[in-house]
Amino acid sequence: MKRTLILVMICAVALVFAVSCKPKTKPTPPPPPQVKEQPKVEKVVEPAPVKKPEPTEEELFMSKSLEALNKEKPLAMIYFDYDKYFIRDDAKPVLEANSTWLKKWRTTKILIEGHCDERGTEEYNLALGEKRAKSSSDYLVSLGVPADRLRTISYGKSQPLDMGHDEAAWAKNRRAQFLIIEK
């Protein structure tokens, strides 16, 4: 016990000694003479980013979501006569344009929706809407679009485009719509 105490005291003394024996500070040197120096002209060149090639049409196409793609409406809808489901002459060029698009984008799959106006009954209109979707699908197949890329569905008269109750509204509602569901 006593020995420890002595050891501690020796250490304390040694520490005090060490602190008090700091080396003497040297006199400060004179300040260097002020030299007027011209600033160096630096050449600043921003490194040019690696030039990206323009995105191809295909890349652009693939980057879009199905929703965004459908919003652009690349596939126009076609219209039908009252109570009928045959392809009208004015619908043929539209379907040809649609088939060209479908042949360009070979991975796409579409859903063809058949719609009717309100002047048919609920039950019959579902069948009529289906006939409209099917005849649109058949026409596209006849233009060379593989049938396995085309699906059909009928919504009867439940999804009118135009809420009106006149011939103009009905003519708009008797239609086939083309929805891209895969790409």
Partner 1 sequence: MKRKRRLPLLLSLGTAVLLGAAQQDIWLLIDGGRPAYSFALPAFVPANEASRASAEEAARIFEADIQYTRIFQLLPKTYYSYIRTLDPKAIQFKEWESIQASLLFVGELAESAAGDITFEGRLLDVKSERQIVGRRYQAKKADLRYMMHRMADEIMKAYGEKPVFTSKIAFISNRDGNDEVYFMDYDGARQERFTFNAVRDYMPAFTPGGQHLAYTSYRSLVPGVYIDDIYENKRTAVSVKGMNFAPSFSADGKKLAFSSSMDGNAEIYVADVEFNPTRVGRVRRLTFNQAVDTAPSWSPNGREIVFTSDRGGTAQIYIMDAEGTNPRRISFGANHHDAPAWSPNGDKIVYVARVDNVFDLYLYHVQSGQIKKLTESNARNESPSWSPDGRHLVFTSNMRGGIQIFSIDADGQNLRPLTTVGENKLPDWSH
d(CA 86, CA 139): 10
Q: Per CB under 8 A, does 176 bind partner 1?
A: no
Least distance CB 121 / partner 1 (angstroms): 4
59 vs 122 by CB, closer to partner 1: 122
Whether the CB-CB separation of 149 and 108 falls below 8 Å is answered with yes
Task: Tell me which amino acid residue 156 is.
Answer: G
Task: Tell me which amino acid residue 38 is.
Answer: Q
Looking only at residues 5 through 44 of this chain, which bind partner 1 when binding is defined by CB under 8 A? Answer: none
d(CA 145, CA 139): 9
Looking only at residues 43 through 82 of this chain, which bind partner 1 when binding is defined by CB under 8 A? Answer: none
Whether the CB-CB separation of 81 and 135 falls below 8 Å is answered with no
Q: Per CB under 8 A, does 153 bind partner 1?
A: yes
User: Of 110, 130, 173, 180, which one interacts with partner 1 (CB under 8 A)?
Assistant: 130
Listed ranges 7-15, 20-28, 37-45, 126-134: which one lies at the site for partner 1 (CB under 8 A): 126-134
